[in-house]
């Protein structure tokens, strides 16, 4: 409740990206305190051959550059998925590019994969893995296409990121579902997706430190038949799993936020509770089609403990959140982690 009052009185009035930067700095600085305040008793689960402390983790997007993994874990997340990282550094889209729809506890973002680039992030992860805490941390690495790289060279671009980052990743995620890089979602068509996934899988399988599990992250806006086609492709290629789902480009009519505010936010991916029903529907469809043959990460609209339980009941092996963290505050990860047992 105290966080709600602080959010309403202070945070909601400030630029969302600036608040994110300040909050993230506080998380990094406060790790020794938060580790004690928000400790979660382990409930280990093995997924993709990796032992996770529990099933609940932080989705990609919050820590794009692997700058605060240990601080985030100290808040109660069982794993952190960093990124999205691209082969080359890029500034992302022009600001403002992050908007709150407070009445819906939602966010619109068109960040555009702003990140330091795979080489810099790999160096940072190398240093982190050189520490005892860093070696214990479960870290997923989410990779995307560099904006200036044409679609016909996408596979090589993803391979470059995978080559640099796989040695430090517990698992890799190929992100072809962000709406904020022009043409990226077109790569979800199986004829475009197959060469990318096959090329990255070759890198992940041949990693000198040992094979790295590989997951693909898809959009909620895919038609049902395309979800089936991607699922079949992932099974045929022998990938480890699917992350369902990313943000949506839809703007549902039942948003509580006044339409004028929604329109003023403009283009970008919408996240938050409004995404939950479709993300859950996609998750169920994949599990029904794949059976036990794939690891599924349930993400998108995860807001409270009931959402965590619903994803697990629908077949998710792991559950992730992000937007709920923004609105729920520092106690949110540990609360949801306890529901993920």
Catalytic residue positions, numbered: 178
Matching residue, tokens 């990318």: 196
Binding-site residues for FMN, in ranges, read 60-64, 84, 142, 175, 217, 245, 272, 301, 322-323
pLDDT of 228 reads: 98
pLDDT value of residue 29? 84
Q: Which residues pair with 215 in a beta bridge?
A: 173, 241
Q: Can you say which residues are annotated as belonging to the binding site for substrate? A: 64, 109-113, 175, 180, 246-247
* 3-state SS record for 33-73: HHHHHCCCCCCCEEECCEEECCCEEECCCCCCCCCCHHHHH
Per-residue pLDDT of the chain (341 residues; tens, 9 = 90+): 555 555 454 556 679 999 999 999 989 986 666 666 678 889 999 999 999 999 999 999 999 999 999 999 999 999 999 999 999 999 999 999 999 999 999 999 999 999 999 999 999 999 999 999 999 999 999 999 999 999 999 999 999 999 999 999 999 999 999 999 999 999 999 999 999 999 999 999 999 889 999 999 999 999 999 999 999 999 999 999 999 999 999 999 999 999 999 999 999 999 999 999 999 999 999 999 999 999 999 999 999 999 999 999 999 999 999 999 999 999 999 999 999 88
Tell me the C-alpha distance between 49 and 39, whole Å.
Answer: 24
Angle between helices 305-313 and 276-290 (to 10 degrees): 20
Give the model's pLDDT for residue 281: 98
Note the pTM of the prediction, 2 decimals. Answer: 0.95
Q: Which residues are annotated as a binding site?
A: 60-64, 84, 109-113, 142, 175, 180, 217, 245-247, 272, 301, 322-323
User: How far is it, in rounded angstroms, from Cα 235 to Cα 241?
Assistant: 8
The Cα–Cα gap between 70 and 88 comes to: 25
Q: pLDDT at position 37, please?
A: 65
Query: With the C-alpha atoms ordered 202, 207, 210, 212, is the resulting torsion angle positive or negative?
Result: negative
User: What pLDDT, on a 0 to 100 scale, did the predictor assign at position 52?
Assistant: 98
CA dihedral 129, 131, 132, 138 (to 10 degrees): -30
pLDDT given for residue 34 in this prediction: 63
């Amino acid at each position: 409740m105290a966080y709600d009052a602080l959010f309403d009185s202070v945070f909601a009035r400030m630029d969302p990206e600036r608040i994110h930067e300040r909050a993230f700095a506080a998380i990094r600085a406060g790790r020794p305190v938060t580790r004690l305040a928000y400790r979660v008793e382990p409930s280990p689960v093995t997924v993709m051959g990796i032992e996770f402390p529990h099933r609940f983790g932080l989705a990609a997007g919050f820590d794009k550059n692997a700058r605060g993994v240990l601080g985030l874990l100290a808040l109660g997340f069982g794993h952190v998925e960093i990124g999205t990282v691209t082969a080359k550094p890029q500034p992302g889209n022009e600001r403002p590019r992050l908007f709150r729809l407070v009445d819906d506890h939602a966010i619109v973002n068109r960040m555009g994969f702003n990140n330091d680039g795979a080489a810099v992030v790999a160096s940072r992860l190398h240093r982190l893995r050189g520490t005892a805490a860093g070696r214990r941390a479960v870290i997923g690495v989410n990779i995307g296409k560099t904006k200036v790289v044409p679609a016909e060279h996408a596979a090589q671009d993803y391979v470059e990121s995978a080559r640099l980052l796989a040695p430090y990743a517990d698992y890799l995620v190929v992100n072809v579902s962000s709406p904020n890089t022009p043409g990226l979602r077109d790569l979800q068509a199986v004829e475009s997706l197959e060469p990318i996934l096959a090329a990255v899988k070759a890198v992940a399988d041949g990693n000198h430190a040992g094979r790295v599990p590989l997951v693909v992250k898809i959009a909620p806006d895919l038609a049902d038949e395309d979800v089936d086609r991607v699922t079949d492709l992932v099974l045929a290629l022998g990938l480890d799993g699917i992350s369902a789902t990313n943000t949506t480009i839809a703007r549902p009519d039942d948003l509580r936020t006044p339409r004028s505010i929604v329109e003023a936010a403009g283009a970008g991916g919408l996240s938050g509770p409004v995404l939950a029903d479709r993300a859950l529907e996609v998750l169920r469809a994949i599990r029904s089609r794949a059976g036990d043959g794939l690891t599924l990460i349930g993400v998108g609209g995860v807001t409270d403990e009931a959402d965590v339980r619903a994803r697990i009941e629908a077949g998710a092996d792991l559950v992730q959140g992000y937007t709920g963290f923004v609105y729920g505050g520092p106690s949110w990860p540990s609360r949801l982690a306890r529901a993920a047992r």
